[in-house]
Structures are given as C-alpha cells and as structure tokens.
Amino acid sequence: MTRHVSGRPSRSRRSLRRLPLYLGVLLISAVAVFPLLWSLAASLSPNEQVFANTFPFSWQALVPVDLTLEAYDALFSERGFLRPIINTTVLGIITVFVGGLIAAMAGFAFATFDFRFKNALFVIVLLTFMVPPEVTIIPLYSMVDSVGWVNSWQALLLPGLANALIVFLFRQFFADIAPDLYDAGRVDGAGWFRIFFSIVLPISKPILIAASLVLFLSVWEQF
C-alpha cells in the first residue's frame, strides 16, 4: 500500500505544468530547423522548383519531387569549390594544433611565472585583441609582400597562430589551477615542459575544446 505525500505534486501534474515549456521549446526548435530543411531540399531540386512551392507554402517545398545533384555538380565541378574547402580544412586543423599549443604555452607562462614586465606584456596582448582586423590588413599585406609570401600557405597560416583571445582564455583557466600540482611535479623531478604536457594539458580538456572550436571557426569563416 502506497501513501501519497501531501504537498508534493505527482509526476503527471509536474509533467502537465511543464507542457507549455516543452511546446515552446519544440516550436523554437522547429523554427530553427525549418530553414535548414528547406535549404537541403532546395539543393536537391531543379532550379525551376526551388521557389515553386514556397508562395504559397506547401509541404512539397521540404520534400523534393525530382531529386537531382545538379547544384552540387556545378558547385564542385564547374566552380571548383572542393579545393577551397580542402585548403580551409587543412589550414584550420594546423591552426588548431599549432596555434592552440602556442596560446596554451603563453597562457601558462602568464599564469604561472613571475618575470619583468609581465603585466605590461599581458596588457599588450589584450590590446592586440581589441584592434579591428581592418586596421591591420594593409600593413599585414605589405609585410607578407616584402618577404615574398603572397599566395602562399605561410601567409595564411602564420598571422593566425598567435591569438590574443585564446591566450587570455588559457591564462584565466591556468590561474585557477592549484600550485600544489606544480610543486608535486617539481618534487618528483619533472621539468616545466614535463609538468605542462603531463599534468596541465590533461586536466585542461574543457578549455582545449573551447579554444579549438574558436580557432577552427575563425579560420573557416575567413576562407
């Protein structure tokens, strides 16, 4: 025999109270997903049928009747869009690994070590993040042209390796790590590089994932 605890609503009542919330989330999700579904259906339809069922709107706008890959064939074969995708993907992966490592080591140095002009250098790093990219385009191009790197991988890769925002994120994360971990590593005879790669990075997965996403998306949106 079960007893009903007074003052505590049953599971069915709690579900009914949350029903408007669930319906609202479902409606917002549908509004967000609808343009993606229509874009996918339009890409698989002939050009003359892309807007045929949108005014007035019909369910056939989301279900292509005559499936075709003409749009993808024109995109990749005629316009050569596959090459830019490959180049951007490779550039993004290199930037994530190399740029992320540089930013992580810089953030670790700012958070752990005490050296002359430490605060001043960190302020300079933050100021570089605040400079609009439009201001640096012409000087950066002149610098790249002076070393003969126009239309080269070096010109695309090197300027994006040092990211002030990522350095700031790593510095803030590493500043919250207990110094006892470093002391324990030093007592066991580990150097700072060993501490960084064996202790710090393994416990920094959240910031590593966030930094990787920011770096990759920044490269993907540019090229």
Distance (Å, whole) CA 103 – CA 165? 9
Give 88's Cβ-side CA count (13 Å radius): 14
What parts of the chain have a pLDDT lower than 70?
1-12, 15
pLDDT confidence of residue 8: 55
Which ranges of the chain would DSSP assign to H, the alpha helix?
11-43, 70-73, 82-94, 100-112, 118-130, 133-146, 153-157, 164-175, 179-187, 192-195, 205-222
pLDDT confidence of residue 13: 72
Q: Among 93, 101, 95, 99, which Cα is nearest to 196's?
A: 101
pLDDT confidence of residue 173: 93
Q: Among 69, 126, 52, 95, which Cα is nearest to 221's?
A: 95
Residue 54 dihedral angles phi and psi, to the nearest 5°:
-100, -30
**141 CB contacts (<8 Å, ≥6 apart)?**
150
pLDDT confidence of residue 78: 77
pLDDT confidence of residue 156: 86
Q: Rounded to the nearest 10 degrees, how much is the dihedral formed by the CA atoms of 5, 8, 10, 16?
A: 170
